[in-house]
Each structure stands twice: as C-alpha cells, then as structure tokens.
C-alpha cells in the first residue's frame, strides 16, 4: 500500500484534466454528430472516472486485489446492461417461423 | 487442552452473564447464536403458514382458507422462508461461528458491523411481521409489478421494506466475510489451504455484495411507483413491468446460489470427514464455487420465458442456464469420488449429507428441464416448479444446514446430541420431504398451477399424499428442536473433537473461548489431511 | 511492522498493517455494492432511453445545462480538495487537513444548494412525477424521464448528504487529534467514498444533461 507517494502537483494536473474534459464534453454535446455524440459523451465520462479511480482513489498504487474488486464491479454492471438490453433490443425482431404453421406449399392462401 | 478434572473452563458462553452481555456482544460466536434464534423463529413462522395452506389443499374446494387468505399465507411462507431463513441462515449462523475459527482468527474483521447486521436483520423481520399483522400481503414473495404497484390492496410496502432492510444485513455479513477471508488468515493458511466451507462462503459473499444492491433499488422503485405512480413499472404510463422482473431476478436468481453455495460448503466438510478421506479434486470444487458465483449472474432470464421477454433473449438465457449445471455437476462428481473407497460412518451429519446428495441431484436435474425454453412453456408456474425449487432449497439447503448444525453442535455448545434420536429424525425428515414434494412433480406435469386455493377433483389424491408428507416433515423438524434443546442441559460433554475431524476449529476447546485461540495457530498442511 | 499505536489496533487484528488492509478491502467491497445500487437505476435509464428516445431528448433539453456544468465543476473541485486532504493527513498536517475538509464540505454543500434550486424550478413547472405531473407541452412518456432524473439525482444527493455528514465526523476527529502520520485510515476511507460519489455524478451529468442536447 502507498503512503503518500503522490505529489500534490499531480493532483492539480488531474484536476485540470478533469475540468478540461468537462468543457470538452459540454462543447461536444452541442455539435450534432449522430450516434457519435453518445459515444463521445460516454467515452469522456469513462476517462474522467478512470482518472479519479486511478489517481484520486490511489488504485494505481494499490495491491492487485483492489484492481480486481474495481473491475469486478464494472464487469458485473456491464453484464447486467448487456443481458438486459439483449431482451429490449431483440423484442421488435420478427419471431422465427413456428414449426407448427403449415408449410407454404400446402396452403399458399394462408397468411 | 481439556485435561480431565480441571475446574470450569472459561468459554464464550460462560465468559459473561446477563441479557446485556448478549445483546451488546461483539463476539462472532455469540452473534451466531443470536442469529440462530432469529432465523429459527422465522422458520417456524414460515412453516406455520405452510401447514395452513397444505391443510387447505387437502380438498379441492377452497374451504379452510378463503382464496384471499390463501394468497396471503403463501406470501408469508415465501417471504419468511426466502428472505429471513434460506438466505441468511447458513452464512449468519454457521459461517459467522466458524469462519474465524477455521482461518485461525480472533474474530471477524468488523465485529461491530456484525452485531449491527443482526439488529438490522431483526428490524427487517419486524417490518415484515408488521406487514403480516397489518393485513398481510397477497403478491407472493416476488412482488411482481404491476400487481404489486397498482392493484394489490395489501401491505406491500411494509413487507417489501422488510425485505429491503434485511438485504442490508446480508450485505453487512457478506462484506465482513470478504474482508475477513482476505486479511485475517493465520500464517501459513494460503488460499488453497482454506477449508471448502470458507471458499463457499467467499463465493456467496461475492454474490451478496454484487447482487443485493440491485434488488434494494428495485424495491425502492416499487415503493415509489406504488406511492406516487411515477410510471417506471406501470404499463398505463409507458413503463415496462417486465423490467421489474429483470431487476428482481438479477438478484433473486443469484440469491438461489446464496442459499445453496454455503450448503455445498457444509456438505464438502461432512463428506470428507465421515468418509475419513481427503476431498477429491479440491481445486475443482473451489473453481466450481467461483464458477457458480459468476455464471449465476448470467441466467436470470430463465424465470421470464413466458413473460413478454423477447424470444431471442429467452434463447440466450436458456443456453446460459445449461452452463450452470456444469459446476454443480463437478461438485457432485467430486463428492461421490470422495465417497468411493472411503471408510464411511453413518453418523447423523452424514445421513443429512447423503440426503443432500440425492435430493439436490433431483432438484438440479429438474432445473435443467425448466431451463429448457420449450419445456418451460408447459411447466412454467405449475407445481413442477414448486417441487423443483423445494428439492433444491429444502432438500439442499435445509438438509445441509441440519447436517452442519449437528456436526458443529458439539463445538458450539460443548454437548453431544442424542445420536439415536438424531438419526431417527434425519430419516423422518427425508421420508417426509419426499412424500411432500415428489407428488408435486406429477401434479405440475399434469398441469396443476401454483398459487391457487382450489383445484379440479382429479388432483386430490396426489394433494392428499403431499399434505400427509408435509405433516411427517413437520414432525421431523420438531424433533431436532426438542432434543437439541434438551442436549444443552443433559447432553454428554463433547470434548474438543468428537468426530475426529480435521480443521482449526477442532483444535480449540468446545465451546471455544472468547478470542478463539490462545496463540495464533500456524498452518503447515493442506486442508482435509484425513488418513485415506 | 508497525506496533500497537496507543491501542489504535482493534483486538481482532494483529497489527496496523492488517487493520489498514482490512479497511481498504472493506471500503472497496462496499463501493462495489454502491456501483450495483446505481447500476439498477442505470439499467432502467438505458431501457427507457432505448424505448422512448424522443422523451429523453426533450427531457435533457429542458434541464439547465449551465447549472449542471457548474455542479460538475463544484464536485470535481471537491474531489481535488478531498485528495489533498488525504495527502495532508498522510503527512500529518492537522491544520491543513482541517482547511481542506472544510473546503470539501463547502463545495459539497454548494452542489446541494444548486441541486435544491433546480428541484424547486421543476416543482414550479409541475415536473415532479406523480399525479400532479403536468408539463407545459405534453410529450408522451416525459414523466418516465423525470422519474429517472429524480430517482438518480435524488439518490446521488442522498449520498452527498451522507458524505458531508462523514466529513463533519472527520473534522471532529481531526480536531480531537485522532489522526497522525501513522493513523489516518478514516480520512482515507472517507475520501474513497467522496470520490465515488463524484464518479457517479461524472456519469449522471452526460446521461441526463448532455445526451440528446444538440
């Protein structure tokens, strides 16, 4: 574990970067880039969060156990979102042909 | 250590007297006993509700209980059993008592948090009981929306709040175990020398920490929806009730593994001790525990095959569900391989372990049926499902819990239980259990839906079987309560290691002294160093 | 190996190092529960944003981006003062710790004040979800956006209030001379919590105020 290895100068640098990224994300929000807007906004948010986690929260200087814990949390969040959205995204897809409907050759008039 | 004829030894029970010394204790062993009392109380509450609705189901008509009361009864049964017995019991009673002993620590890492968790648990229980006393709930323990948020005219919020609060108790216990297992192992006790009981609890704690907060926020949303109609789960306002099911099962399916993983940990200990044989495939059992913890989070949608969940999501969840069977099967094979050519003694804990093996296998295999997308359309919400999860929960978790309770009872209390009575009741419970739930598989397959107070006449014979079995089972559960209490006063002195078992907990006197070890033990060998 | 410093090591631990490690792991495990707590709400957000993109676009258009940006700056600033406070505690500068924690509390309170101002505005415009929800121009499903807005920011604000409470406790402990070069774990843990709350806002800000702004 670290004991005050980081200089205060680094903290100020991180702070400046975070503020710059905030400005950037606000500016980017006003420019219409289609789907890219979402990606940029979330990318910047993730970068900011990563900076806070690594430097302000000292994870960069901590034992691997902390790394594992942090990533476990976010991986689990990702799993929830992905498997959950899997349902919502595919709801509007056509259902696969049912094996119980008559084959097309037998009854062309049916829907 | 326990030389004959010594004057009364100081242990955690006689270290201090008076009610205050118990209610304010920071000793993990005393908190385990407090939890034992609380969870047993909720087991009795849930059991009493079960007795009532099983009696109602003797006849096809709804005569003993009105349909409305019947709904409230099975909700009480579900809430009390799931949130206040199955989830907390093994971790909070056996885990609490044994983990520090097994890893050679003086206490858990956060003793105050441990005590707080007991109070929070009871507060949750009190809220749920208030809900019951104030008119009951009729939603089932799952609180499905939009019924629970818009239509149910009963104490939904109080009861859900009880589940919410008890969730915090479970998070506190889980955090405590994780920290303790990470930081407080005795010198030489490497990760792969840990008893499998400890590994199982580590995996369980991870599930608790990752899953419980999701159901907490879901309950908050249900309460907000019910109070203010904010629209999140109300289809009339554009909300999606199925989203509730997603969030609910994201926790509540892994919660099944919160119930069964500690039970598997107990069974690993029992089988290797009473076969006098090293556990077969230690690392595989460890890996399968962690595998279950992770895979358990990927399968929740198999509870929702007949909701309006997309059929493609159903496909994915169905396939993933098959995967969970693998780690469970690995454990099962390892246990049977441990038994092979072991020197097996049929003492009470081992009888329960055998019960677990058989019943859990049936429960697990029928789970595969239900995980199949197509078959589930027929079996969904029938008694087949009821029988399936009772085989896993009661046949698995409760069997293992009773086995573990008997195994460590001499350690906890310093007294031996009467072996004859204990064996008899283990057999009664096994027989009663099968009588109760085996007919329900048939009933479900024939199409009897769950959660109805009345049913067509042709189902009556099997229901009579089931109710008869339930009364045997009920008596079976009464026996241990009586003779274990009796043994507290009249049981023979146990000595530190009555079963000649391995593990650090057996090296200290029974009952253990307040700080467990007079000097920190140093571990030099693998776990389960049995002769064969 | 550090020795038992004035009884600062609890009975269940062997030494200071073990106690510190336990606190760190415990705190991170706790923060994971917090990630998942907000995770449930993020799940709801993602689902409804996918189902009703227009309502969410209209909703975030209506939120005050200036106040949102101001609040982001305030919180990032408070994270800086917090990190510096932990640094000062590590070096045993008691006076500095006090000043920096006070600054953190001030910035946090300012954040809450801005939030309260925003909430009041929503109240006056009848944008509180529930029976009295009546937006000026009726957009279908706008209520769900506001429900999520209030649940997310409300839970976040609740965490801020708790964070400020924790900071006050730290202040009192620091005044009482509880911390030293060798024992500053409570400040460190409180700092982890504070930064986490900041991170949540780092995500809430774009999700609620920015997406669909153009």
CA dist list (Å): B387 to B81, B91, B382, B390, B526:
15, 25, 9, 5, 39
Average pLDDT (A72-89) is: 94
Q: What is the DSSP letter of B94?
A: I
pLDDT score recorded for residue A2: 45
B228 and C131 within 8 Å at the Cβ level: the answer is: yes
With vertex at residue B57, the alpha carbon angle to CA B51 and CA B63, rounded to the nearest 5 degrees, is 100
Q: How many domains does chain B have?
A: 1
Average pLDDT (B518-524) is: 91
Closest CA–CA distance from residue A87 to any residue of chain B (Å): 5
**Nearest-by-Cβ selection for A42 from C24, C39, C206:** C206
Q: What is the CATH number of the domain that holds B330?
A: 1.20.210.10
In a domain, B501, yes or no: yes
Which distant-in-sequence residues (6+ apart) come within 8 Å of C179 by Cβ?
C89, C92, C94, C97, C173, C186, C187
Least trusted range by pLDDT, from A101-110, B117-126, B271-280, C18-27 = A101-110
In a domain, B532, yes or no: no
Interatomic CA distance for residues C112 and C67, integer angstroms: 11
Least trusted range by pLDDT, from A59-68, B96-105, B417-426, C5-14 = C5-14
Average pLDDT (B322-348) is: 95
In a domain, B520, yes or no: no
**Nearest-by-Cβ selection for C210 from A18, A41, A63:** A41
Average pLDDT (A8-27) is: 96
Percent of chain C with pLDDT over 70: 97
Per the structure, the complete domain to which residue B57 belongs is given by: 26-507
Question: pLDDT grade, residue B392 (50/70/90)?
Answer: very high
Closest CA to B360 of B392, B386, B394, B323: B392
* Average pLDDT over all residues of chain B: 94
**Inter-chain Cβ pairs, chain A and chain C, closer than 8 A:** 126
pLDDT score recorded for residue B338: 96
Average pLDDT (C130-139) is: 89
Domain ranges of chain A: 8-86
The residue of chain B nearest to residue A91, with distances taken between CA atoms, is: B310
Question: pLDDT grade, residue B447 (50/70/90)?
Answer: very high
pLDDT score recorded for residue B2: 45
Q: Interface partners of B (3+ CB pairs, < 8 Å)?
A: A, C
User: For C36-210, which CATH superfamily applies?
Assistant: Cytochrome c oxidase, subunit III, four-helix bundle (1.20.120.80)
Average pLDDT (C23-28) is: 94
Residue B87: helix, strand or coil by DSSP?
coil
* Average pLDDT over all residues of chain A: 85
Interatomic CA distance for residues C205 and C68, integer angstroms: 7
Average pLDDT (B408-415) is: 96
| CB B412 within 8 Å of CB B470 | no
pLDDT score recorded for residue B247: 97
pLDDT score recorded for residue A105: 59
C192 and A57 within 8 Å at the Cβ level: the answer is: yes
pLDDT score recorded for residue B228: 93
Interatomic CA distance for residues B109 and B174, integer angstroms: 12
**Nearest-by-Cβ selection for A90 from B242, B298, B310:** B310
pLDDT score recorded for residue A111: 47
Contacts of C205 in chain A (CB under 8 A): 22, 45
pLDDT score recorded for residue A95: 66
pLDDT score recorded for residue A62: 85
Q: Give residue-wise pLDDT tens across range B176-234.
A: 999 999 999 999 999 999 999 999 999 999 999 999 999 999 999 999 999 999 999 99
For an interface test with C, give the residue of A2, A10, A29, A31 to mutate (most C CBs within 10 A). Answer: A29
On the question of pLDDT at A99 being above 70, the answer is no
Q: Give residue-wise pLDDT tens across range B467-497.
A: 999 999 999 999 999 999 999 999 999 999 9
In a domain, B59, yes or no: yes
On the question of pLDDT at C15 being above 90, the answer is no
Closest CA–CA distance from residue C189 to any residue of chain B (Å): 15
Interatomic CA distance for residues B325 and B292, integer angstroms: 9
Average pLDDT (C159-164) is: 98
In this prediction, the answer to ipTM > 0.85 reads yes
pLDDT score recorded for residue B308: 87
Question: pLDDT grade, residue C9 (50/70/90)?
Answer: confident
B214 and C141 within 8 Å at the Cβ level: the answer is: no
For an interface test with C, give the residue of A56, A64, A75 to mutate (most C CBs within 10 A). Answer: A56
Q: Give residue-wise pLDDT tens across range B10-53.
A: 899 988 889 999 999 999 999 999 999 999 999 999 999 999 99
Average pLDDT (B333-356) is: 96
pLDDT score recorded for residue C12: 87
Closest CA to B411 of B175, B77, B93, B136: B93
Which distant-in-sequence residues (6+ apart) come within 8 Å of A15 by Cβ?
C76, C77, C79, C80
B184 and C41 within 8 Å at the Cβ level: the answer is: no
Q: Give residue-wise pLDDT tens across range B150-179.
A: 999 889 999 999 999 999 999 999 999 999
CA dihedral B446, B299, C27, A70 (to 10 degrees): 180
CA dihedral B111, B116, B119, B120 (to 10 degrees): -140
Average pLDDT (C159-169) is: 98
């Amino acid at each position: 574990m670290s004991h005050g290895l980081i200089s205060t100068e680094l903290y100020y640098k991180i702070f400046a970067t975070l503020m710059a990224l905030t400005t950037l994300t606000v500016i980017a929000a006003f420019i219409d880039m289609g789907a890219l807007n979402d990606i940029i906004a979330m990318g910047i948010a993730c970068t900011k969060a990563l900076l806070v986690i690594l430097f302000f929260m000292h994870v960069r200087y901590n034992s691997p156990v902390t790394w594992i814990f942090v990533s476990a949390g976010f991986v689990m969040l990702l799993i929830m979102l992905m498997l959950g959205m899997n349902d919502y995204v595919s709801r509007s897809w056509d259902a696969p042909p049912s094996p119980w409907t008559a084959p097309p050759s037998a009854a062309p008039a049916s829907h | 250590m326990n030389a004959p004829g010594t004057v009364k030894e100081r242990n955690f029970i006689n270290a201090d007297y008076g009610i205050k010394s118990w209610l304010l204790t920071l000793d993990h062993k005393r908190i385990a006993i407090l939890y034992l009392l609380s969870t047993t109380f909720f087991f009795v509450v849930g059991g009493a509700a079960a007795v009532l609705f099983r009696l109602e189901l003797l006849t096809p008509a709804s005569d003993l209980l009105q349909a409305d009361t019947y709904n409230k009864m099975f909700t009480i049964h579900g809430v009390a059993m799931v949130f206040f017995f199955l989830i907390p019991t093994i971790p909070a009673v056996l885990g609490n008592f044994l983990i520090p002993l097994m890893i050679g620590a003086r206490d858990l890492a956060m003793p105050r948090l441990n005590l707080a968790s007991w109070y929070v648990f009871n507060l949750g229980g009190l809220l749920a009981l208030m809900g019951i006393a104030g008119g009951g709930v009729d939603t089932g323990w799952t609180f499905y929306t939009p019924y629970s948020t818009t239509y149910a005219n009963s104490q939904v919020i109080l009861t859900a709040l009880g589940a919410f609060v008890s969730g915090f108790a479970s998070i506190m216990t889980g955090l405590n175990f994780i920290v303790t297992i990470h930081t407080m192992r005795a010198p030489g006790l490497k990760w792969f020398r840990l008893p499998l009981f400890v590994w199982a609890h580590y995996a369980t704690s991870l599930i608790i920490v990752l899953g419980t907060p999701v159901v907490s926020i879901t309950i908050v949303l249900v309460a907000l929806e019910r109070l203010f109609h904010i629209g999140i789960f109300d289809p009339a306002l554009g909300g999606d009730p199925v989203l509730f099911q997603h969030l609910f099962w994201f926790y509540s399916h892994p919660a099944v593994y919160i119930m069964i993983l500690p039970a598997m940990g107990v069974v690993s200990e029992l089988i290797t001790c009473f076969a006098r044989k090293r556990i077969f495939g230690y690392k595989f059992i460890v890996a399968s525990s962690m595998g279950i913890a992770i895979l358990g989070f990927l399968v929740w949608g198999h509870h929702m095959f007949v909701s309006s969940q997309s059929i493609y999501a159903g496909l994915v969840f169905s396939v993933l569900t098959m995967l969970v069977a693998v780690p469970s099967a690995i454990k099962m094979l390892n246990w049977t391989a441990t038994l092979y050519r072991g020197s097996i003694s049929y003492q009470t804990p081992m009888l329960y372990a055998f019960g677990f093996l058989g019943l859990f296998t049936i429960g697990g295999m029928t789970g595969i049926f239900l995980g199949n997308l197509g078959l589930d359309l027929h079996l969904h919400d029938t008694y087949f499902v009821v029988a399936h999860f009772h085989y896993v929960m009661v046949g698995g978790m409760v069997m293992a819990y009773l086995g573990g309770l008997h195994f460590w009872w001499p350690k906890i209390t310093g007294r031996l239980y009467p072996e004859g009575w204990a064996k008899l009741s283990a057999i009664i419970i096994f027989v009663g259990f099968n009588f109760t739930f085996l007919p329900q598989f048939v009933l479900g397959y024939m199409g009897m839906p769950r959660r109805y107070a009345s049913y067509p006449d042709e189902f009556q014979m099997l229901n009579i079987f089931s109710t008869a079995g339930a009364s045997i089972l009920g008596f079976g559960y009464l026996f241990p309560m009586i003779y274990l209490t009796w043994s507290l006063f009249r049981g023979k002195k146990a000595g530190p290691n009555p079963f000649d078992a391995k593990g650090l907990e057996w090296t200290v006197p029974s009952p253990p002294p307040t700080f467990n070890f007079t000097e920190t033990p140093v571990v030099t060998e693998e776990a389960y160093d049995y002769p064969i | 190996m550090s020795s038992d410093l004035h009884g600062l090591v609890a009975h269940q631990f062997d030494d200071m190092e073990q106690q510190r490690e336990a606190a760190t792991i415990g705190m991170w495990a706790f923060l994971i529960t917090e990630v998942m707590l907000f995770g449930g709400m993020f799940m709801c957000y993602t689902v409804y944003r996918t189902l009703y993109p227009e309502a969410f676009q209209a909703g975030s258009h209506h939120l005050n981006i200036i106040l949102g940006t101001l609040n982001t700056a305030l919180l990032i600033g408070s994270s800086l003062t917090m990190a510096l406070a932990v640094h000062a505690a590590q070096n045993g500068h008691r006076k500095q710790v006090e000043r920096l924690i006070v600054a953190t509390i001030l910035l946090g309170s300012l954040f809450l004040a801005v939030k309260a101002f925003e909430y009041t505005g929503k109240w006056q415009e009848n944008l509180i979800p529930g029976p009295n929800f009546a937006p000026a121009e009726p957009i279908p499903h706008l209520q769900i956006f506001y429900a999520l807005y209030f649940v997310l920011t409300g839970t976040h604000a609740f965490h801020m209030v708790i964070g400020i409470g924790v900071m006050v406790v730290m202040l009192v402990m620091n005044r009482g001379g509880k911390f030293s070069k060798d024992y500053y774990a409570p400040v460190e843990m409180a700092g982890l919590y504070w930064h986490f709350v900041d991170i949540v806002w780092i995500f809430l800000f774009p999700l609620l105020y920015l997406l669909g702004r153009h």
